[in-house]
Amino acid sequence: MQNARNFIRAYALAYPSLIDLGARTAINYGVSGVPETFFIDREGIVRSVDRGGLTTAPLSEGLRRIEINWP
């Protein structure tokens, strides 16, 4: 777990991260591989999933779907 904390700190990640012991969260969200990005709105509803390497266009679209403005 310390390695994950170090990574989050080193890259100043601003989004929520978790250690998924037992893979319960991954199973609940239907994670099928890495990398995957889930865009979850304020109510906890998954609005979009991007499977694969994330580029600017799908990032912008995913953020738009959860109503977050991004340059």
Predicted local distance difference test score (pLDDT) of residue 10: 92
Bridge partners (DSSP) of residue 46 are 40
Question: What pTM did the predictor assign?
Answer: 0.66
What count of Cα atoms within 13 Å lies in the side-chain half-sphere of residue 23?
5
Predicted local distance difference test score (pLDDT) of residue 71: 59
Predicted local distance difference test score (pLDDT) of residue 35: 85
**Contacts of the segment 45-53: beta carbons below 8 A, 24+ positions apart:** none
**What digits encode the pLDDT tens for the residues 16-63?**
888 888 999 889 988 888 788 889 888 888 898 998 888 888 888 888
**What's the pLDDT band for 70 if we cut at 50, 70, 90?**
low
Task: Tell me which residue of 38, 29, 33, 31 sits closest to 59, measured CA to CA.
Answer: 38
